[in-house]
Structure 1
Amino acid sequence: MGGQRAEDGRPHSNLQRFLDCTTPAVDTHILPKTNGRLSNDAWHHADADSVEYFNLADLWEQYYEWSAYGAGATVQLQGGDKVVQYYVPYLSGIQLYTNKVLNASRSFGEDYAMDFWSDDDDNEKMSRSWSSTSDDSFNCDIVGGNRRRPGHLYFEFFEVCSPYGRIPLMDKVYELSQGFPGLTSLKSVDLSPVSWMSVAWYPIYHIPYQRNVKDLSACFLTYHTISSSFQDHSPETMTYGSAASGKQNDQKANTVSLPPFGLAANKIQGSLWTNPRTGDHKRIVSLFGAADSWLKQLGVRHHDFNYFVTHPM
């Protein structure tokens, strides 16, 4: 990619810059151990007197500007030119498992027709699936190889309409929270380690404009865990595959970074995103394997993921 290198001597990684600019960093808080709402899992590996957590409302707030204007990632093109490619985030999938049974509104729990989108019906078929339950749970090998209950499924959502018929993530969360207020009121300590979300990133424009650069049409799915417990059971130690990231703390700013543990990509032919000199190809394969294994072990049919797999170009 033009031979230009980063300050440490390695070739520039477009993939890494995309991941960096689309990773949310959420303000954290400290909850005293005397608070009776916490489960034993929340205290595992925590300070003797307190536990760090973040509010889901603060997590969604990180996507506010991205939803309105797009997230800009610097991309180095063949020959050395650089552009800033902007991506809009869409909520692709989410499952919230709580440590305790919660009463959830069922206003979005009706049965909806599942008209899956394809390239031929981008603007015609728009449907979504919502489900909620307060008492269903299942067993899965998720923590240190031990079989245990992941919690109670409070809410799940999987987008199935065309990208052209979607609304940005912040607007979607607000819409869904009208029926499921826990989407914005819950704390990370309320959630079990298998709570997760997937964000679909679709390109909208780049500056300065470049003509006929097909690789700039690449789309991505990022997978993030959203529980205070997951730092103890990061993907490296779970049976989901060799993900390259987990929870990262910024002690000075009292924030927590939630880099993706899994990734899927669409329209990444060529070397712009998979240059072997940057290690991007190997990392994409690793993160894709982690996402695939995660979905299989949870028994999840994620429509966007399946579409990316079957429509790689």
Structure 2
Amino acid sequence: MSNLGRSRVREDRFYSPPAMRRYNQQQQKHVQQEEQKVQPQRQQEKQQQSESLMSSSSSSVVTTNLDRFMKHTTPIVTAQHFPKTSMKGWRNQDSNYHPYFILGDLWESLKEWSAYGVGVPLVLNESDSVVQYYVPFLSAIQLYVDPSSPLTTTRRPIGESDSDSSRATSSDGSYENNVAKNFNKLMIRSDNLEENEIRNPPGLLIFEYFERALPYHRAPLADKISDLASKFPELKSYRSCDLTQSSWVSVAWYPIYRIPVGPSLQNLDASFLTFHSLSTPLKSVEGDKSSMIEVHDVGISLPIFGLAVYKFKSSDWTQSGIHGAEKVDSLMHSTENWLRSLNAYHPDFVFFKNHDFWR
């Protein structure tokens, strides 16, 4: 009987001797005590995670369709860096040189959007997710350089020859002779400008183009740039650090199609003008926050600093009542100030402003 009992014990894989049972009970008790100690901490962590999710959820709620449009139509350009050996003072730890971009890379980054449009995810009727595609067209551009820079004497200042579309800059020196006068005029006029307007001379205008054709007669942005660059090759070779802060480009965005299609498509017939700076500072200056360019790991982004809208339905785009309307008004107002400070007549902006029946 005894041998049989021992045999059964050996055959039972789950049999635990008394000593082992006591050890297991002690271990289990110890685990329970440790669990009780960490339970409050886990509850606190869980509460923090919940609050974090709620915070992120609430922040996503205030993201409007206009915010999404501005985010997805912001160009991101490949960043270029100065070689260390070419920078004076590098050995003296004077390494605050900013990355820059080449204008040709900017146009290249917009080439696919120019051909197929850029998809902007939107939310309609507070629940319907759609992707609206917009195609960009060149609306206007002005390039300014520092007249005291050596680059000014090595680049011939010319412009688009079509007098209906642009104002050509003279290459016979007469334009350069008037730079000082223009500087003085701008400095006098700057006394009456508002706080967010340019207060420094813009520089020497070496190229400008303002589109005047009707939207359905315009060439795609990439094609237009190629056409202009055939007459002014520097339109692709200039670096952002060669240009003054007065250099800018305006892009017109028109809706082309939406996925999925549906009856609410009529709510998305709004068109936009966006304004982007083309200048990056050469070096960091303490306390200077005037740059409108943002540098990221993926490249240099050109945020929208000015905006104009056409056929804009506020309830579909801002979803935040008075606050949303104020944002649009502020952007349009800053754009108008910018153009006025440069004494620039922008046909598209004038049309958008005179027909902005947004509601």
Structure 1 residues 105 and 249: CA distance shift in structure 2, 3 A? closer
Is 134-143 or 301-310 further displaced after alignment? 134-143
For residues 217 and 47 of structure 1, the distance between their equivalents in structure 2, rounded to whole angstroms, comes to 51
Structure 1 residues 212 and 148: CA distance shift in structure 2, 3 A? closer
The equivalent residue for 2:117 is 70
The equivalent residue for 1:129 is 166
Amino acid at match of 2:71: D
The equivalent residue for 2:295 is 249
Percent identity, aligned pairs only, is 39
**TM-aligned CA deviation for residue 32 of structure 1:** 4.8
Structure 1 residues 145 and 68: CA distance shift in structure 2, 3 A? closer
**TM-aligned CA deviation for residue 210 of structure 1:** 1.6
For residues 69 and 77 of structure 1, the distance between their equivalents in structure 2, rounded to whole angstroms, comes to 23
Confirm or deny: 8 A CA contact 2:198 2:338 kept in the other structure.
no
Is 164-173 or 96-105 further displaced after alignment? 96-105
Q: What is the CA deviation profile of residues 96-124 of structure 1, one whole-angstrom value per residue up to 9, with x for unaligned ones?
A: 01224254375733533xxxxxxxxxxxx
The equivalent residue for 1:307 is 351
For residues 204 and 146 of structure 1, the distance between their equivalents in structure 2, rounded to whole angstroms, comes to 35
Structure 1 residues 230 and 200: CA distance shift in structure 2, 3 A? farther
The equivalent residue for 1:118 is none
Confirm or deny: 8 A CA contact 1:87 1:204 kept in the other structure.
yes
Task: Give secondary structure in 1 for the equivalent of 2:219.
Answer: coil
**TM-aligned CA deviation for residue 162 of structure 1:** 0.2
Confirm or deny: 8 A CA contact 2:98 2:284 kept in the other structure.
no
Q: How many residues align?
A: 276
- Provide TM-score, normalisation by structure 1: 0.78
The equivalent residue for 1:14 is 65
The equivalent residue for 1:97 is 144
Structure 1 residues 311 and 247: CA distance shift in structure 2, 3 A? same
Confirm or deny: 8 A CA contact 2:157 2:206 kept in the other structure.
no
Q: What is the CA deviation profile of residues 137-182 of structure 1, one whole-angstrom value per residue up to 9, with x for unaligned ones?
A: 3333499989543221110000011000001211111110000011
Superposition map of 1:94-243 within 5 A:
94-99=141-146, 100=149, 101=152, 102-104=154-156, 106=158, 108-112=160-164, 128-133=165-170, 135=176, 137=179, 138-139=182-183, 140=186, 141=190, 148-229=200-281
Q: What is the CA deviation profile of residues 60-98 of structure 1, one whole-angstrom value per residue up to 9, with x for unaligned ones?
A: 111011001001101111151121110000110000012
For residues 322 and 75 of structure 2, the distance between their equivalents in structure 1, rounded to whole angstroms, comes to 23
For residues 159 and 314 of structure 2, the distance between their equivalents in structure 1, rounded to whole angstroms, comes to 45
Structure 1 residues 247 and 310: CA distance shift in structure 2, 3 A? same
The equivalent residue for 1:125 is none
Matched, 1:24 2:71: no
Structure 1 residues 147 and 130: CA distance shift in structure 2, 3 A? closer
Task: Give secondary structure in 1 for the equivalent of 2:313.
Answer: coil
The equivalent residue for 2:22 is none
Confirm or deny: 8 A CA contact 1:198 1:222 kept in the other structure.
yes
For residues 146 and 306 of structure 1, the distance between their equivalents in structure 2, rounded to whole angstroms, comes to 20
Q: What is the CA deviation profile of residues 210-250 of structure 1, one whole-angstrom value per residue up to 9, with x for unaligned ones?
A: 225332000000001111139979xx966xxxxxx932221
Confirm or deny: 8 A CA contact 1:32 1:50 kept in the other structure.
no
> More helix by proportion, 1 or 2?
2
Confirm or deny: 8 A CA contact 1:55 1:185 kept in the other structure.
yes
Q: What is the CA deviation profile of residues 14-66 of structure 1, one whole-angstrom value per residue up to 9, with x for unaligned ones?
A: 01110111001111122258759x9xxxxxxx954634211111111110110
Matched, 1:291 2:344: no
Q: 1:263 aligns with which of 304, 307, 316?
A: 307
Q: What is the CA deviation profile of residues 256-285 of structure 1, one whole-angstrom value per residue up to 9, with x for unaligned ones?
A: 111111111110134001322694323212
For residues 17 and 23 of structure 1, the distance between their equivalents in structure 2, rounded to whole angstroms, comes to 10
Confirm or deny: 8 A CA contact 1:92 1:304 kept in the other structure.
yes
In structure 2, the gaps of 5 or more residues are: 1-54
- Provide TM-score, normalisation by structure 2: 0.69
Matched, 1:50 2:97: yes
> More strand by proportion, 1 or 2?
1
Structure 1 residues 147 and 189: CA distance shift in structure 2, 3 A? same
Larger Rg computed on CA atoms: 2
Confirm or deny: 8 A CA contact 2:141 2:209 kept in the other structure.
yes
Amino acid at match of 1:211: P
In structure 1, the gaps of 5 or more residues are: 39-45, 113-127, 239-244
